[in-house]
Structure 1
């Protein structure tokens, strides 16, 4: 069977490696200042299929929604997190938690998972997933940092890159950028040279007031990334994937 991808919402993605199902950065609820901005394809964690593992890049609510994730029934499902987040996950009753530093690896069934560098104002990692000759890069919501360049050296044959693109900046901190924007994501795409790329992390909104006073976003414009990647990485096929649709690699 081929590898498939479904965007659930935001950076929450369901990957299926020939039957081995991996969920990234679960987010199944909303609250004040955290609105998904697009329909969620899976309503609750109780509606998820049986998972072989869950990846969590960092402890921010919109990537680590432990309250809503509690509705997933199997508390023994393997969960891989960045170093330092394991205590928080275990405290919510999850029993099989592995913490990784950049360039450390573990296995989720047949899938080899390697953490890679990231930067987002809190401890974070990105991930590489490998199974049956397929390699996927999951960019979480990192800034564009030089340390990401090493991924291209270590993983020269990436089939799919999931690229955050909303360029979120924090207004209270002087418009400090916390997430790579579309142009930066396109530049990284040119370096990684994936066969396919799918933008993620672009519809989020903090609401009418929050968007004015708390965050600055390039929201809802994955076309900006597709256009920039077309110029910088013409050999990569960029797919804008609405939530709920499946892409086969």
Structure 2
């Protein structure tokens, strides 16, 4: 009985210590969890407004289908990639607001998987296991243990490293965002991936703080500007989160600095991971684009929607 009592109090102490460490890392996280629980009790998970079917389009253009959050299927002139694949209904304690727009079993072939960093809403081992075996998996160097045993072909990346996926050249740039799995794990890089083929280019952000130097580095690699930039626009409230997540206005500024002719917002609507109103990030982005006179560059879509990037963009 005495051993059981000591074991019980040890468990309580460890749980309290873990909560304290979590709170010290991100003090508002407990309020975000409470917000999620309140939302879940009053709202069922919604269906994706549209469902994705493959292929998204023909091989002469670039097609991008939004699975939700930071998960996109990108068909780059016949090369099919997926970014930060998360199909699960829940990441940690956070349930999706909107279901995934595709069942992973319907993804019959892939040429590459791009994971930007280790946070649970970007790297989901359960989802990775559901992808076609043997597909190359690009992820930050040092995050390999998180995907141990998953039958994908690992290609660890670091800032300014390059990798070829068929005839698409992928260059990684480090973003100012701590990519560790949790508060006790070692910090790793968060990556922006620049995809290039046949003179066309896409910049795909991971999470990032406002980083003019990052935009300048991408512009140096693509002096003529990029055809499209996928930008995260949520997760900036409260200020403790803003230190690692750009506001919609800051994300727009970075996209414009790298010469993006098309700007595609993401990382909003699917999960509640911060404290700003769910509909605020897109409203602020559209208002900032109108003020800057670049509204025609913004291409947003509902979850499950497909965007076509023609050669003239």
TM range (shorter): 0.7 to 0.9
**Runs of at least 4 residues off by over 3 Å:** 167-171, 174-177
Are 1:127 and 2:186 matched, yes or no? no
Query: Could you tell me the TM-score, scaled by structure 1's length?
Result: 0.87
| Structure 2 counterparts to residues 86-125 of structure 1, below 5 A | 86-89=144-147, 91-122=148-179, 123-125=189-191
| Structure 2 counterparts to residues 1-249 of structure 1, below 5 A | 1-31=60-90, 32-43=92-103, 45-72=104-131, 74-89=132-147, 91-122=148-179, 123-148=189-214, 149-156=216-223, 157-169=225-237, 174-175=240-241, 177-206=243-272, 215-221=274-280, 222-232=282-292, 234=294, 237-249=297-309
| Structure (1 or 2) with the greater strand fraction | 1
| CA deviation string 1:98-150 (max 9, x = no partner) | 11111110011111100012122222111101122210000122111243132
| Structure (1 or 2) with the greater helix fraction | 2
Question: Separation in 2 of the partners of 1:132 and 1:28?
Answer: 31
Which protein has the larger Cα radius of gyration, Structure 1 or Structure 2? Answer: 2
Question: Separation in 1 of the partners of 2:295 and 2:262?
Answer: 9
* Structure 1 runs not aligned, ≥5 long: none
The number of aligned residues is 237
Question: Aligned-residue CA RMSD in angstroms?
Answer: 2.1
User: 1:118 touches 1:126 (CA, 8 Å); kept in 2?
Assistant: yes
CA drift of 1:81 comes to 0.7
Question: Separation in 2 of the partners of 1:52 and 1:166?
Answer: 29
* Structure 2 runs not aligned, ≥5 long: 1-59, 180-188
